[in-house]
Amino acid sequence: MMRFQTDLIPATLIRRYKRFLADCRLDDGREITAHIANPGSMMGLKDEGQRIWLEPNDDPKKKLKFGWRLVEHPGGHFTGVDTSVPNRMLKAALMAGQVSGLDGYDLIRPEVKYGENSRIDFLLTGANRRDCYVEVKSVTLSRQPGLAEFPDSVTARGTKHLGELAAMAQSDHRAVMFYLVQRTDCTSVTLAADIDPTYVAAFKSAQATGVEVLSFACKLSPQGVSLGAALPFTL
């Protein structure tokens, strides 16, 4: 498990605004502003009164002393809303050879330049193996019980990434689209065609060139995050 740097504390969401800010009420009644590392719409995760979990910090370089990490749902389920967390957790899992389908590589390098002014999330290399380009997307939207969907808003950047993965596949490299579901209440993954039909068209085109798809769950709690089981992907 990748533990949070400090113990999370519960709070109640007042409002999210300016994309990266959230006003929250701590259980002792204090109202604070927290940073949220999530540029998406956060559909279904930003309602007033939502039970959330914050990570405090005493870093003098940080203006805001709290970061929003989790949303709590009924039944003891959680959604992770910090988009930087899954890549850090996944890097550790890849290096430990714990990701089925992406194990057995000698070297795992994050944030390698490729394509047109882009960086691939992970480049996996090994002797006598094709280079493997892995693009990771954090999935947090769920509009039907048990079903996770990506994206939660139009993502021109995501569409660009699919095109660049397709180019890698056409150059005889392995190219993998990796959907990491940051929810504990979902058992399958799909694409939200009504939200971004252009992304879905790009996905189908990329898949036709040989881009592979992997989808995994996360185990989430106020203590930390770790890689869960592989999930079925349907479109």
- Within the chain, which residue ranges are assigned CATH 3.40.1350.60? 85-230
At 117 the pLDDT is 87
Fold topology of 2-80: OB fold (Dihydrolipoamide Acetyltransferase, E2P) (2.40.50)
Quote the crossing angle between the two packed helices 197-208 and 156-170, to the nearest 10°. 10
Q: Look up residue 100 and give its two tokens.
A: 């089925």
Q: Which residue has the tokens 């039909």?
A: 197
Whether the CB-CB separation of 130 and 210 falls below 8 Å is answered with: no
Q: pTM for the complete prediction? A: 0.95
At 85 the pLDDT is 82
At 19 the pLDDT is 87
At 74 the pLDDT is 93
Pairing of strands 9-17, 21-26: antiparallel
46-69 burial: b if 16+ Cβ within 10 Å, else e = beeebebbbbbeeeeeeebebbbb
At 141 the pLDDT is 97
Chain centroid to CA 113: 20
**Tens-digit pLDDT profile for the chain (235 aa)?**
899 999 999 999 999 999 899 999 999 999 999 999 998 899 999 999 999 999 999 888 889 999 999 999 999 999 999 988 878 899 999 999 999 999 999 999 999 999 888 999 999 999 999 999 999 999 999 999 999 999 999 999 999 999 999 999 999 999 999 999 999 999 999 999 999 999 999 999 999 999 999 999 999 999 999 999 999 999 9
Whether the CB-CB separation of 213 and 176 falls below 8 Å is answered with: yes
Fold topology of 85-230: Trna Endonuclease; Chain: A, domain 1 (3.40.1350)
At 39 the pLDDT is 87
At 87 the pLDDT is 86
- Within the chain, which residue ranges are assigned CATH 2.40.50.580? 2-80
Whether the CB-CB separation of 171 and 209 falls below 8 Å is answered with: no
